[in-house]
Structure formats: structure tokens, C-alpha cells
């Protein structure tokens, strides 16, 4: 008897199912749901995009046409053409130019913020860079359309300013802040004793950065660049507004192009659900999803790599 009583008392102590106990369980459950929601959403979106695009993949998908033809004419009644080579060239050229602009910019900014600036200057700069990253892409697109467009026409004497150059600059400026933030984190992660050791050997400030800090932060910087590339591939609105929306393999930076994302954005709302055109747009979606997934995963693995060292 006494034993039973005792264990009841223990239950009372440790497992009292009162309001607090239920509240505790509820919070645990909510946190758990939030925790796994990212996984659920990613898988859910992938399944959705794949099922919508599957009809095309199974019926009329031809690998050589899809990736090898530059002709994109999905709305033709008799002979629709589903080649995305020109669209890939458009996305790649814009992203490539954007990286040419963003990499020196963001690495320079990150080195300045992490290695040279001090006190208030550094704090202000960090806040400003983050503010820059928060500018909505449609605002960037608007800048491309109404400021860059006449400027390019004026400066280079070309007939139209909605070109690879325009979109590349806009996208470069958009990607730079995020790349700066991540690159700066990578530089900060380099232990101070590296710098002290280099200085003790008589290295100048630049030599410290160039010979010691940058090689040590190499992986993080690479990760920052890759995330910038991923941003470029996935950006839609600004690219839609600034490229001129012309299916075309560019021969110079003054040619108009069209991006993969912009094609989906411009055409998806206007196709009948379930039609072949609709399905092919989802197939492009699958392709984009895979590319950004691979880029982001690689970036993530590289960044994680340095943390584990």
C-alpha cells in the first residue's frame, strides 16, 4: 500500500497533467511543425511542379529539342516549338554579366567592412548593406526600365536600352548586398591569430589580407559567390522588366534577351490549366528548381565545409 501511495506521489510530482503540462506539449508540437515545415514545403512544391509538368515530359518532351533548339513558340496551333536554348542563353548571359559586376563589388565591400572599417562606420555600413538587400526586385526593374534604359541609349547610341547590359547591371547590384553580407561573415570567421602571425612576420595590411585572410576564407567567399549566382538564376521581376523580353541568343551585351524565369512569369497566367503550353512552363520550372537547388546545395556544402575545419 505504502509503495503504491509513494508512486502516486511521484506521479503527482513529475507527471501532473495540468494546464502547464498541456501548454508545454502544445508549444512543443507547434515548434516541431514549424521546424519540419521547410522540408514539407520544399518537397510539396517539388511534387506539385513535377506533377504539373509531367504530362509534357512523358508525351512530347524531346531532350534534343528542349535543350538544343533556340526556337520558342509554344502557342503555335499547328507546329509548336519548345526550345529553351535561347532562354538559357538569356539567363546565363545576364547572370554572368551580373557576377562580373557583383563579385568585385561585393568582395571589395566585404573586405572593407571586415578588415578596414571600425566602430560606427562599420555598423552603419552593415545596416546599409542589409537595407540595400531589402529593396524589392520590382523597384530594381523599374530603375532598369526608366533610368538605365534611356541612359544606355544615350551613352552607347543603341536603338533600345533594354538589353543584357541593363539587366546585368541591375542584377549585379541586386545580388551584391547578399554576397557582401555572406563574404563578410566568412572573413570575420578567420581567427585573429592568423592576422597577428602575418603582421608579426612584417606583412603590410594588404599582404595580410591578400596572403592570409583571403586564402583562409576561400570557401566562404566561394559560397557567397554561388549564392549570388543562384539569386541571379532565380530572379524574375527585375529581369522581366530590364531585358527587353526577346527570345534571342545574344551576340553582344547590347542585344535584348529573355530569361527562363521571365518566360514563366509572362506566360503562365495566360495559358489554360493542363494545356501543353502550361505543362512545358512547369517543365522549365522543374529545370530551374534543379539548377538553383544544385547551386544552393553546393554553396551550402562549401560554407559548412569551412565551419567544420
Partner 1 sequence: MNKSQLITSCLLSLGVCMTATQAYARTVIQNKGSDTLVNVAQAWAEEYRNIDSNVAVAVSGGGSGTGIAALINGTVDIANASRAMKSKEVELAKSKGQNPIQHIVGYDALSVFLHPDNPADTLSFSQLQDIYARKGKATKWSDLGLTVPGCKQDKIVAVSRQNNSGTYAYFKKAVLGKKGKFRQGTLDMHGSKDVVDLVEKTPCAIGYSGLAYANEHVKMACIAKETGGKCVNPSVATASDRTYPIARPLFMYTNGEPTGETKKYLDWILSDVGQCILLKKGYAPVKDVTCK
Residues interacting with partner 1, by CB under 8 A? 70-71, 73-79, 81, 86, 157-160, 162, 244-249, 255-256, 258, 266-267, 269-275, 277
Q: How far is the CB of 86 from partner 1 (least distance, A)?
A: 7
d(CA 204, CA 195) in angstroms, rounded, equals: 10
Q: How far is the CB of 269 from partner 1 (least distance, A)?
A: 6
Per the DSSP assignment, residues forming a β-bridge with 199 are none
Within 10 Å of residue 199's Cβ, how many Cβ atoms? 14
In the block, residue with C-alpha cell 527562363: 260
Q: How far is the CB of 48 from partner 1 (least distance, A)?
A: 17
Residue 1, C-beta contacts closer than 8 angstroms, at least 6 positions apart: none
For residue 208 the three cell numbers come to 595580410
CB nearer to partner 1: give 229 or 257.
257
CB nearer to partner 1: give 144 or 244.
244
CB nearer to partner 1: give 204 or 252.
252
Give the DSSP per-residue string, 82-122.
E--HHHHHHHHHHHHHHHHHHHHHHHHHHHIIIII--HHHH
In angstroms, the Cα distances linking 176 to 141, 171, 299 are 16, 8, 16
81's enclosing H/E stretch is: strand 81-82
Q: How far is the CB of 180 from partner 1 (least distance, A)?
A: 33
For residue 4 the three cell numbers come to 503504491
Helices marked H in the chain — which ranges? Answer: 2-14, 19-59, 63-68, 85-111, 119-133, 137-143, 149-156, 164-188, 192-200, 205-207, 214-216, 218-234, 237-242, 260-267, 276-308
CB nearer to partner 1: give 96 or 274.
274
CB nearer to partner 1: give 129 or 247.
247
CB nearer to partner 1: give 119 or 269.
269
CB 176 within 8 A of CB 109: yes
CB nearer to partner 1: give 90 or 168.
90
Q: How far is the CB of 167 from partner 1 (least distance, A)?
A: 13
Q: How far is the CB of 159 from partner 1 (least distance, A)?
A: 4
Q: How far is the CB of 169 from partner 1 (least distance, A)?
A: 19
Q: Between vectors from CA 72 to CA 265 and to CA 285, what angle results, nearest 5°? A: 40
Q: How far is the CB of 232 from partner 1 (least distance, A)?
A: 22
CB nearer to partner 1: give 11 or 73.
73
Amino acid at each position: 500500500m505504502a509503495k503504491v501511495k509513494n508512486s502516486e506521489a511521484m506521479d503527482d510530482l513529475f507527471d501532473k497533467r495540468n494546464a502547464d503540462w498541456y501548454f508545454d506539449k502544445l508549444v512543443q508540437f507547434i515548434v516541431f511543425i514549424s521546424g519540419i515545415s521547410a522540408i514539407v514545403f520544399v518537397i510539396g512544391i517539388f511534387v506539385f511542379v513535377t506533377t504539373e509538368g509531367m504530362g509534357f515530359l512523358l508525351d512530347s518532351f524531346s531532350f534534343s529539342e528542349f535543350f538544343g533548339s533556340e526556337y520558342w513558340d509554344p502557342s503555335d496551333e499547328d507546329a509548336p516549338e519548345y526550345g529553351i536554348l535561347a532562354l538559357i542563353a538569356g539567363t546565363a548571359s545576364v547572370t554572368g554579366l551580373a557576377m562580373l559586376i557583383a563579385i568585385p563589388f561585393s568582395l571589395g565591400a566585404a573586405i572593407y567592412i571586415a578588415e578596414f572599417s571600425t566602430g560606427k562606420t562599420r555598423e552603419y555600413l552593415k545596416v546599409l548593406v542589409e537595407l540595400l538587400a531589402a529593396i524589392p526586385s520590382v523597384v530594381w526593374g523599374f530603375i532598369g526600365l526608366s533610368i538605365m534604359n534611356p541612359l544606355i541609349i544615350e551613352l552607347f547610341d543603341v536603338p533600345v536600352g533594354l538589353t543584357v547590359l541593363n539587366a546585368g547591371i541591375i542584377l549585379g547590384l541586386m545580388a551584391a548586398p547578399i554576397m557582401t553580407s555572406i563574404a563578410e561573415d566568412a572573413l570575420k570567421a578567420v581567427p585573429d591569430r592568423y592576422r597577428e602571425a602575418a603582421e608579426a612576420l612584417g606583412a603590410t595590411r594588404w599582404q595580410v589580407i591578400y596572403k592570409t585572410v583571403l586564402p583562409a576564407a576561400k570557401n566562404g567567399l566561394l559560397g557567397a559567390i554561388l549564392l549570388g549566382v543562384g539569386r541571379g538564376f532565380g530572379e524574375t521581376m527585375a529581369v522581366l522588366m530590364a531585358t527587353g523580353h526577346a527570345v534571342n541568343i545574344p551576340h553582344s551585351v547590347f542585344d535584348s534577351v529573355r530569361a527562363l524565369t521571365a518566360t514563366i512569369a509572362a506566360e503562365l497566367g495566360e495559358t489554360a490549366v493542363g494545356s501543353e503550353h502550361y505543362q512545358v512552363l512547369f517543365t522549365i520550372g522543374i529545370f530551374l528548381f534543379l539548377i538553383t537547388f544544385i547551386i544552393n546545395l553546393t554553396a551550402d556544402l562549401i560554407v559548412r565545409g569551412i565551419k567544420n575545419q
